A and B are shown apart, each in its own frame.
Chain A
């Protein structure tokens, strides 16, 4: 299994919405509803934002939402705020009983 594919960077202005894609295969993203998304600010540990494709942990803003179609999962952030600027990673469970992360996407809030 290779890393899941994410765009290297995305950007948006405050108040706008952006979507980050995460493409895998029929052996990982497409096989299970076990896709998570993490936010990581520089020098900090990752923070779980979405799990099981579309569920938000308690305390995570409802501006963050997740979805999946086939082998591609997506994270949408609406009403962009300056504090959303960070690196975002997707992850997926695989048919080999392992976990794969995406390569990461740098979100810039213009």
Chain B
């Protein structure tokens, strides 16, 4: 079964750093973009950015550019989302998602289970 498996929930203090992960399985990880999506408590979905694992090309939403870093290690089929200095406003559920239909950049057919990040 094609899956994206995310790392577990995190509780951090303001100012701390954090790196969460998203591992792909049962498909060619290097052949599909991986996006990160934020969902703050009780709020909607926000596209943060995306990475192409084969060459690590990245694109960021202007709202998140400079606030987070998206990376990938294709040798372990894993994408990462990283913060250098967390803020309370980073408290949210973070999903990774794969656009699985060729040529359709926003058709996210596979989603991770989400990683809840609490900053307090």
Please give the distance in Å from A52's CB to the nearest CB on chain B: 5
CB contact between B107 and one of A3, A45, A52, A97 (< 8 Å): that residue = A52
Min C-beta distance of B1 to chain A, whole Å = 13
Count of residues in B whose CB is under 8 Å from the partner chain: 23
Chain A, interface residues (CB within 8 Å), range: 20 to 34
Q: Report yes or no: A38 in contact with B112, Cβ–Cβ below 8 A.
A: no
Q: B74 → chain A, closest Cβ, in Å?
A: 22
Kindly state the separation between the CA atoms of A45 and B95 in the bound complex, as whole angstroms.
8
Report chain B residues within 8 Å CB of A92.
106
- In chain B, positions 77-120 with a C-beta closer than 8 Å to chain A are 95, 97, 101, 104-109, 111-114
**Contact with B95, one of A35, A46, A98, A100 (Cβ below 8 angstroms):** A46
Given A38-B45, A89-B45, A99-B106; A52-B35 close (CB under 8 Å) = no
Interface pair A36/B47, CB less than 8 Å apart = no
Contact, CB under 8 Å: A45 / B114:
yes
A97 engages B114 (CB within 8 Å) = no
Output the nearest chain A residue to B109 by Cβ-Cβ distance. A48
- Please name all residues of chain B whose beta carbon is closer than 8 Å to the beta carbon of A103 when the two chains form the complex: 44
Please determine whether B107 and A99 come into contact, CB atoms closer than 8 angstroms: no
Bound-state Cα–Cα, A102 to B62, Å: 16
Chain A contact residues: helix, strand, loop or mixed:
strand
Assess whether B59 is interfacial by the CB under 8 Å rule. yes
Report if A93-B44 is in contact (Cβ < 8 Å); known contacts: A45-B111, A99-B35: no
Verify A93–B106 contact, CB threshold 8 A. Answer: yes
B102 to chain A, nearest CB (A): 11
Q: What residues of A have a CB within 8 angstroms of the CB of B114 in the complex?
A: 45
Instruction: List residues 48-90 of chain B with CB under 8 A from any CB of chain A.
Output: 50, 59, 61-62
24 contacts between A and B (CB under 8 A): A1-B62, A3-B44, A3-B46, A40-B45, A45-B95, A45-B111, A45-B114, A46-B108, A47-B111, A48-B107, A48-B109, A51-B104, A52-B107, A91-B47, A93-B105, A93-B106, A98-B61, A99-B47, A99-B50, A99-B61, A101-B37, A101-B44, A102-B44, A104-B45
The 10 closest A-B pairs by CB, nearest first: A51-B107, A45-B111, A99-B47, A104-B44, A101-B45, A91-B106, A99-B106, A48-B109, A93-B105, A36-B106
